Amino acid sequence: MAYIGIDLGGTNIAVGAVNEEGQILSQVSVPTGASRPYQELVKDMAQCVKDAAEKAGLTLSDIKSVGIGIPGVAEEATGVVFNCTNLGWFNVPLRQELQKYIDLPVYIDNDANVAALAESYAGVSKNCRSSVMLTLGTGVGGGIVIDGKPWSGAHGRGGEIGHMTLIPDGVPCTCGNNGCVERYCSATALIRMGRQECFAFEGSQMLVRTGGDPEKLNARIVIDCAKEGDACATRVFNDFVRFLAMAINNITAFFDPEMIVLGGGVSGAGDFLLKAVEALLPRYQMFKALPIPKVAIAKLGNEAGIIGAAMLGKSK
Amino acid sequence: MAYIGIDLGGTNIAVGAVNEEGQILSQVSVPTGASRPYQELVKDMAQCVKDAAEKAGLTLSDIKSVGIGIPGVAEEATGVVFNCTNLGWFNVPLRQELQKYIDLPVYIDNDANVAALAESYAGVSKNCRSSVMLTLGTGVGGGIVIDGKPWSGAHGRGGEIGHMTLIPDGVPCTCGNNGCVERYCSATALIRMGRQECFAFEGSQMLVRTGGDPEKLNARIVIDCAKEGDACATRVFNDFVRFLAMAINNITAFFDPEMIVLGGGVSGAGDFLLKAVEALLPRYQMFKALPIPKVAIAKLGNEAGIIGAAMLGKSK
């Protein structure tokens, strides 16, 4: 028996068959074509499900369930996608629509929750009873896993780590609040803070790498320059790490998971980021003598979307 | 069958027999005498357990387990109290010591977790799948209940809502950090902010009520004056509510429990506090169209300590 996982992104729909151990057996993908009516997207998803099963040498009778990770929020009971901004979806009956083509249980969850679940079944947090994943990308996503199940809260509001307030009355956020974690711990934050340094101090290597145009700055340049010891980039990186350590400490003080997993583009900084965070975390922790949650870099990369979506079925 | 709950406080040890529904059947209490060796305290606790059972017309063979709520942190596996500052306890083998007198399972947890558990079995959050309780007293305690079980985290660090950072680089906290929730959402915070107003504006009713001595200000005076419309007290109360709403929003964004329960001395302000918090909360929430966790005032009062400790056994 196997599971099908669907990673519904703004650019591609990636679909795979996944075994009980969370290993991908086959993979297919089609462009999302996000501007089309949702019915057409779902028809493509259904075809991909069949193709992924066939490619793995399976029929639909070998498949236990289909899971979908979406860049938005869905209601567990009904399978209705409440909100999926990138696709322009509001109140889309995704489960019901997919089941017109595929007679299998369909589970839907947020892509950050799905990534956290993938890591807990087949990645760095395997065998942890509880874990919290932060995806440090354009924004900051969050996923909570308790006893092998994703936790989205009682009203689907949970895991929104990016929109916990870090700095009251701080940088305005797209969500309407100010000072959200996302504004200080994302790739976008690294770029914003890097640009400020470029404007303030002309000598930064960051400016050299962008050919003198701060608009071309990206998170990788900031991190690379910090690794190489550029003073401005180091200042930005140290601020970033301090904000991230504060955000992690708030999660630990409240929830104290067994492991904190860092994913998303910024986590590509690997050990450089991890060591800096680990060095700072103990400073914020109460009960200095108690162990601190282990912090680790996610290891499944892009495959987390398919694996985690598939494991939604296993987690039920 | 029944359970025994022990509320171990700095002043009294309160012990009661509790039935399956979380109702207290009998109650006894002795002074804590916190300066004595722990062995003597535990001997008194054991006698109280026997007395509470007898008073309820039960023998120890009718008792399933003994639970203890402590103002500190214990290790679940060993029953060792890691840290209990008020009693000067460090690494006290509480379970082992009590079992010298009482041959029953003994469960130990933090008093804020225990209060949250009590409310979820017999109080305002009864029948909620998940709830988070904030005890707004001298400090701010926190308790998390998931599916009828207290959640203390993977290392016993969980539920420390009072030590999540609310205002980075804010008011110094007893824990060594700055800007903790406890410094802005406790009775102590109301008093601090009230005194500041008294010094800044001599005309406050708060100052009149203290006979002109801001040192005599307490949380009740601040709240009473705010209720009566005193401008200074209203300013303090509004700030307090804003801080509390921000703290609650951070919990909601991360965990999204079915209910947030407010307990502790400040929650005695009742509807006056509740309405103010409810009015402010929606402003901070993402996904404006999704329901918000219900906020409610705790209803078990002092009995929560015994009931929740007893229910530790039922929750296993």
Q: Which residues in B lie closer than 8 A to residue A249 (C-beta atoms)?
A: 164-165
* Beta strands across the sheet bearing A81-84: A73-74, A81-84, A89-92
Residue A73 has pLDDT above 90, yes or no: no
Structure tokens at A41: 């997207």
Shortest CB distance from B255 goes to which of A130, A153, A176? A153
Q: Are residues A231 and A153 in the same domain?
A: yes
Distance from CA of B27 to the nearest CA of A (A): 33
B187-200 and B231-254 helices cross at what angle (nearest 10)? 150
Q: Are residues A66 and A9 in the same domain?
A: yes
- pLDDT in the model for residue A286: 79
Q: Are residues A153 and A247 in the same domain?
A: yes
Shortest CB distance from A155 goes to which of B160, B250, B256? B256
Could you give the CA distance from residue B315 to residue B48 in angstroms, rounded to a whole number? 23
Shortest CB distance from A157 goes to which of B155, B163, B252? B252
Q: Are residues B35 and B68 in the same domain?
A: yes
B111-122 and B304-315 helices cross at what angle (nearest 10)? 80
- pLDDT in the model for residue B57: 97
Q: Are residues B36 and B99 in the same domain?
A: yes
Distance from CA of B216 to the nearest CA of A (A): 31
pLDDT tens profile B240-276: 999 999 999 999 999 999 999 999 999 999 999 999 9
Q: Are residues B159 and B116 in the same domain?
A: no
Interface contact A153-B285, CB threshold 8 A: no
Is A161 part of the contact surface with chain B (CB cutoff 8 Å)? Answer: yes
Section B179-197 average pLDDT = 96
DSSP three-state, residue B82: strand
Residue A288 has pLDDT above 80, yes or no: no
- pLDDT in the model for residue A85: 80
| Cβ neighbour number for residue A277 with a 10 Å cutoff | 17
pLDDT tens profile B272-282: 999 999 999 99
- pLDDT in the model for residue B83: 85
Q: Are residues B8 and B104 in the same domain?
A: yes
Residue A42 · residue A98 · CB < 8 Å: yes
Q: Which residues in B lie closer than 8 A to residue A142 (C-beta atoms)?
A: 254
pLDDT tens profile B24-71: 999 999 999 989 999 999 999 999 999 999 999 999 999 999 999 999
Q: Are residues A83 and A214 in the same domain?
A: no
- pLDDT in the model for residue A76: 85
Q: Are residues A87 and A183 in the same domain?
A: no
Residue B128 has pLDDT above 80, yes or no: yes
Residue A287 has pLDDT above 80, yes or no: no
- pLDDT in the model for residue B14: 97
B142 pLDDT tier (thresholds 50, 70, 90)? very high
Interface contact B158-A254, CB threshold 8 A: yes
Q: Which residues pair with B16 in a beta bridge?
A: B5, B27
Q: Are residues B139 and B287 in the same domain?
A: yes
What CATH number is associated with residue B26?
A: 3.30.420.40
Interface contact B157-A285, CB threshold 8 A: yes
Residue A174 · residue B264 · CB < 8 Å: no
Q: How much is the ipTM here?
A: 0.94
Q: Which residues pair with A17 in a beta bridge?
A: A4, A26
pLDDT tens profile B290-311: 888 999 999 999 999 999 999 9
Q: Which residues in A lie closer than 8 A to residue B168 (C-beta atoms)?
A: 166-167, 246
Could you give the CA distance from residue A258 to residue A281 in angstroms, rounded to a whole number? 15
Could you give the CA distance from residue B98 to residue B43 in angstroms, rounded to a whole number? 7
Q: Are residues A112 and A198 in the same domain?
A: no
Q: Are residues A100 and A226 in the same domain?
A: no
Domain that holds residue A63: 2-121+302-315
Number of domains in chain A: 2
- pLDDT in the model for residue A289: 75
